[in-house]
Amino acid sequence: MAHRITLIPGDGIGPEVVEAARRVVDATGVSVEWDRQEMGAGAFARTGHPLPPPTLASIRETGVALKGPVETPVTSGMRSVNLAMRRELDLFACVRPCRLYPGVPSVYDAVDLLVVRENLEDLYTGIEFEMGTAETQELIAFLEEITDRRIREDAGISVKTISDLGSERIVRFAFELAEAQGRSKVTAGHKANIMKFTDGLFLEVARAIAADHPSIAFEERIIDALCMQLIQAPERFDVLVLPNFYGDLVADVCAGLIGGLGVAPGGHVGETAAVFEATHGTAPPLAGTNRANPVGVMLSAAMMLRHLGELEPRDRLEAAVAAVLVEGDHVTGDLRAAGDDRPPASTIEVADAVIQRL
């Protein structure tokens, strides 16, 4: 029976790279019925909604989406259409595999990390107080009263929340993923020495869940030290589990270790739905040029096939992408090392080359 999958081309380079990935998925022979839906600035211009209800309804029904990057239109009144989608669908885990494929220019020899980021809490609650407003002054007065600490009147305030349940489900998810993928170690990143009741809670929960998984090693790192050690020796790490904000930063750092945004895949996973998309954004200067790298979305599609239980086609897709990368004749300009004067391939040519090698 065909898998029903929601397909969201998105904005900017989204339609080009998503189309390349869709062709590759179809060429694996997996039977897919794509349900094409809109989201982002283009959707807002056409329908008045950056996250149209039919798009959410489709993902709820199919349970799986392949998505391009989207832009949040300033006039939509929405802080972030991506955050809204993750909240609506309770996509609590962001998974970013960061593997360095042979042939991709990098200063490292071997990188194979799995970044697991909490997706709904932390500084991304969207609860903020603007400098100078009556509500902010009231909040400052209240905080001064209960803490006996001074807060400057010209301060803005953003609220950070980390919960017991939110920490438990992301850390448990990271350990279960580590087990399912035959990995050996989970490292939790935090700043519990400063933020005792948010990061401290996350760390306490992580330690407790680690004790339930004795076959997987557990270590903890203060986030600044973790960033330094990732740059120095990424091969020392395996699975990283992080609260939302640090996860956002560290996932892009790790994308930098493996050749940049053009090749970094990802997935947002919840109990009842999963949305797969590359790490990169809409790359406005590249939009419509047929020069964007589709590998990040193709590898996201490979993650989607694994999620759907299509393991053999997933392996073939990944091997075909890896073959194109190591040969190096059909890669986009962002993957050309200095001095390599072979002409860059177009987005469509990369897809053709991958399809030939499936």
Query: Which residues are known catalytic residues?
Result: 124, 191, 224, 248
Which sign, positive or negative, has the C-alpha torsion 271, 275, 281, 282? negative
Q: 88 is written with which tokens?
A: 């609506």
Interface with ligand NAD, residue 277, by CB under 6 A: yes
| Burial annotation 148-161 (CB, 10 A radius, 16+ → b, else e) | eeeeeeeeeeeebe
Q: Which stretch binds ligand NAD (CB under 6 A): 49-57, 66-74, 87-95, 115-123?
A: 66-74
Please identify, using beta-carbon distances, which residue of 37 and 293 lies nearer to ligand NAD.
293
Q: Are 167 and 202 in contact (CB under 8 A)?
A: yes
Q: Give the nearer residue to ligand NAD in terms of CB position, either 77 or 214.
A: 77
Burial (CB count <10 Å: 0-12, 13-18, 19+), residue 343: exposed
Question: Interface with ligand NAD includes 98 (CB under 6 A)?
Answer: no
Contact 247, 94 (CB under 8 A): yes
Q: Is 313 in the site for ligand NAD (CB under 6 A)?
A: no
Q: Which of 116, 123, 216, 283 binds ligand NAD (CB under 6 A)?
A: 283
**Interface with ligand NAD by CB under 6 A: which range of 44-52, 165-173, 189-197, 281-289?**
281-289
Residues 222-261 that bind ligand NAD (CB under 6 A): 261
Min dist CB 286 to ligand NAD, Å, is 5
Among 256, 281, 328, 344, contact with ligand NAD (rule: CB under 6 A): 281
Is residue 267 part of the contact set for ligand NAD (CB under 6 A)? no
Interatomic CA distance for residues 345 and 7, integer angstroms? 25
Q: Is 282 in the site for ligand NAD (CB under 6 A)?
A: yes
Binding of ligand NAD by 69 (CB under 6 A): yes
Q: Calculate the dihedral angle through the C-alpha atoms of 17, 254, 223, 199, rounding to the nearest 10 degrees.
A: 30
Q: Pick the stretch among 69-77, 88-96, 145-153, 317-325 that binds ligand NAD (CB under 6 A).
A: 69-77
Task: Report which of 42, 54, 51, 113 is spatially closest to residue 86, judged by C-alpha positions.
Answer: 51
Candidates 190, 191, 268, 280; binder of ligand NAD (CB under 6 A) is: 280
201 near ligand NAD, judged by CB under 6 A: no
Kindly state the DSSP code that residue 342 receives in the 8-state scheme: S
**Backbone φ and ψ of 116, nearest 5°:** -115, 115
Burial 180-213 (b: 16+ CB within 10 A, else e): eeebeebbbbbbbeebeebbbbbbebbeebbeeb
Give, as ranges, the residues between 36 and 65 that touch ligand NAD (CB under 6 A): none
The torsion defined by the Cα of 245, 247, 249 and 255, in degrees rounded to 10, comes to: -160
Nearer to ligand NAD, 136 or 293 (CB): 293
Q: Is 71 in the site for ligand NAD (CB under 6 A)?
A: yes
**Residues of this chain, 112-131, that bind ligand NAD according to CB under 6 A:** none
**C-beta closer to ligand NAD: residue 25 or 286:** 286
**Measured CA distances, 101 to 220, 318, 327, 350 (Å):** 27, 10, 11, 16
Q: In the window 1-30, what residues touch ligand NAD (CB under 6 A)?
A: 13, 17
Residue nearest ligand NAD, Cβ-based: 281
Positions touching ligand NAD (CB under 6 A) are: 13, 17, 69-71, 82, 261-262, 277, 280-283, 285-286, 292-293, 296, 332, 334
